[in-house]
Structure 1
């Protein structure tokens, strides 16, 4: 054992890492990214949940009750409805997470000590259910309306009704999201190493000699992996239904259409990475930088509504964020894909931009 030779090898590795900008970025970037995400962006205490209100009583007392609920900070009214049925439509389409239904005889119910308010909850997210329970714990003043200066709700007079997952089974929320997580991890990685692998194996020389255009090469790289992604979707979907009894309330065709939108978005992102990476290992490193924010900020592991607005805007640029809304809306709430068109449009636009950038960056040459 020669300490001199050992020291020479250590210095050589340090110099090599210094020249590898991706590795250097991971050394500093990963700890910083995780610290910021877990310390600042991720918050399990939900605030400002999108809420619809159907106040059929429309009295001073009923309006005061709604204001008391808003004052908790848990809800943020963004929709007004005329009936509980209209609130249910908003819930099904994913436009709101909570609905507040106040009947026309609210004052009489409150005075008699009966159930006076219903909180309708999108139970496909178990964290939202837990946040909604806070509203049912507000105290209620049972005095008549004419004497009540600030009517308060609670004492069993407010009921929380959970839809789509009344048993609060975590598998119902997790399994649809796993489709997106698995597709994000595998699809980006597969195409991320595609172009680099051609260079390392010497196949790029053969492709350069052919009349294949850049667009044909890129699209040809994507299509086989798209079929693989559909196979993965089928496996996760079948096991989820069989092992965990996860419902598919919407159309199966819509499930696969949403999946192909995510598959194409991730494949084109992987192609863009492959045009930048110099080696397969470097492509894997760059894929990790995409996968980590996707799984943490998309709403799969932590509630989207608990994140600061700036982080939510960042998460909107991630394909997985939009896919989770689509797949949970279709599978758990029975929504049609066309009702969730903003997220469909976002995935289509992302795919078009990534493919355009990948084609423009790729050159049929070895340098």
Structure 2
């Protein structure tokens, strides 16, 4: 062991690292991103869940209870409903996460000190919403025995048994597609450039759009196979339901696959090596997995973090896949999330193709 030779190698690697600006940026950027996300954006205490009120009693006491529950900041009472049908529609469309139902005999139940006085109907497709609603189960009601628990009944729709896989498996479809599609596309295109194959294709009379789409279509087929595998295993191993249309689920998955592939193509136009492509792909994984609502409550994040999450494709796909699989919603009801994915795909592909075209000059 020659320390001088060893030191020369170490010095050479440090100089190489200094020239590789992307790697150097990742050394600083990844821990910074994790610190900001975990310290600032991610909050396990859920607040301001979008909710609705169905006040069938419409009395002074019921309005007092509704005001106090709204002041708890757990529920953001955005809608005043007049019928249970409106409640079911808003929940199925994903516009609300919970609904406070005040029965018509609220005053009588309160006077008799019955166990169930109010009801909170929650979207059971999201476990975080379930946990937040249970916090309100012991909420003290005015004019009643404040030491008595269970005054508010929590009704879980779509997942009454509160089974974790029912919530996790649909989200895993998006997470798996995010990791594989972005990484496969980015590294594959960069690998072809390193091996000289891309230059050979560019020399042929193929337009940038034809070249890009021709590279993406095989990966899109692979993504649909992955969706089928997760759906099959989720059904066989965990009895995860599919309450909506299978064809609409595949269509939503295909749009998300295209969005992920477009992101991978864009990364490939920035990276100079496969290692850089892997680094940049990993850099996009963290915000998507942490901010999309898959692991941590979306409603508990600050507004700035929520705005950032709205720019990420996984956020919108989770709304689609949970809405179709667990709530039985259709694409016509979930069109904002589908439109956001289509817009993201077109923007990413447009920018990527423009950069490929510049390489043809």
Q: Distance in 1 between matches of 2:36 and 2:359?
A: 40
Query: 1:260, CA displacement in angstroms?
Result: 0.5
What number of residue pairs does the alignment pair up? 360
Q: Distance in 1 between matches of 2:358 and 2:77?
A: 54
Query: 1:339, CA displacement in angstroms?
Result: 0.2
Is 1:312 aligned to residue 313 of structure 2? no
Alpha-carbon distance change, 347 to 153 in structure 1, aligned in 2, over 3 angstroms: farther
Is 1:266 aligned to residue 260 of structure 2? yes
Query: 1:194, CA displacement in angstroms?
Result: 3.1
Query: 1:327, CA displacement in angstroms?
Result: 0.2
Which residue number corresponds to residue 134 of structure 2? 133
Q: Report which stretch shifted further, 126-135 or 44-53.
A: 126-135
Q: Distance in 2 between matches of 1:194 and 1:10?
A: 31
Which residue number corresponds to residue 65 of structure 2? 65
Q: Report which stretch shifted further, 186-195 or 216-225.
A: 186-195
Task: State the superposition RMSD in angstroms.
Answer: 1.7
Which residue number corresponds to residue 330 of structure 1? 324
CA contact (8 A) 2:117 2:151 kept: yes
CA contact (8 A) 1:141 1:153 kept: no
Deviations 1:336-360 (A, max 9, x none): 1110110000000000000000000
Query: 1:365, CA displacement in angstroms?
Result: 4.7
CA contact (8 A) 2:51 2:99 kept: yes
Deviations 1:86-132 (A, max 9, x none): 21221111110110111222212211223321110111111211111
Q: Distance in 2 between matches of 1:168 and 1:123?
A: 7
Which residue number corresponds to residue 146 of structure 1? none
Deviations 1:208-263 (A, max 9, x none): 32100111101111111100000000001100010011000111111111110110
Alpha-carbon distance change, 154 to 62 in structure 1, aligned in 2, over 3 angstroms: farther
TM-score (norm 1): 0.95
CA contact (8 A) 1:113 1:142 kept: no
Which residue number corresponds to residue 121 of structure 1? 122
Which residue number corresponds to residue 224 of structure 2? 230
271, 275, 287: which one pairs with 1:281?
275
Q: Distance in 1 between matches of 2:352 and 2:110?
A: 62
Which residue number corresponds to residue 355 of structure 1? 349
Deviations 1:315-337 (A, max 9, x none): 01110000000000000111111
Query: 1:184, CA displacement in angstroms?
Result: 0.4
TM-score (norm 2): 0.96
Which residue number corresponds to residue 294 of structure 2? 300
184, 208, 224: which one pairs with 1:214?
208
Q: Distance in 1 between matches of 2:353 and 2:304?
A: 31
Q: Distance in 2 between matches of 1:355 and 1:153?
A: 60
Which residue number corresponds to residue 24 of structure 1? 24
Which residue number corresponds to residue 33 of structure 1? 33
Deviations 1:156-202 (A, max 9, x none): 33211111111111111110000000100011011112331222111
Residue ranges of structure 1 left out of the alignment (5+ in a row): 144-150
CA contact (8 A) 1:180 1:324 kept: yes
Is 1:204 aligned to residue 205 of structure 2? no
Q: Distance in 1 between matches of 2:360 and 2:245?
A: 47
CA contact (8 A) 1:118 1:159 kept: yes
Is 1:4 aligned to residue 4 of structure 2? yes
Q: Distance in 1 between matches of 2:193 and 2:73?
A: 55
